[in-house]
Amino acid sequence: MALQKAADNLKDKSNDDKKVVAGGIAISIVILLFAGWAILFLKKIQNGGKLQPLGGGAQDEFLGSAVREAQSSLMRDFSDVDELRQMRDQIGQQYQGSASEQDVQQSDPFGGSNSIE
């Protein structure tokens, strides 16, 4: 009832007044959404933001034993970040070495004689 009466009153007003009312409504909605988000965010911080542990639950039901074994071996083998970086650097050096050898062996990739004909 009250909303219908307010809407009828706005029909008679100018476009500027309608824009002011629409802007006020939009701002109040944004403020309500921000307040709700802030409350939920602060509750999460107070609870310590506990992370869910990976694995377990429904995942274990669908994974086969071979997949679980492979997952655990990967986690066991690559738990050290420095080891991964060393492996990356070794592979990069091997790639750079093979790329320079290819450049020396093949000077023109199109089979030409490197001169303008």
Q: Report the chain's mean pLDDT, rounded to a whole number.
A: 76
pLDDT at 54 over 70: no
Tell me the H-state helices in the chain: 2-11, 15-46, 58-62, 65-77, 81-105
State which amino acid sits at residue 33: L
Q: What is the mean pLDDT of residues 83-93?
A: 81
pLDDT band at 51 (very low <50, low <70, confident <90, very high): low
pLDDT at 24: 94
- Tell me the pTM: 0.39
* Per-residue pLDDT band at 38 (split at 50, 70, 90): very high
* Eight-class DSSP state of 48: T
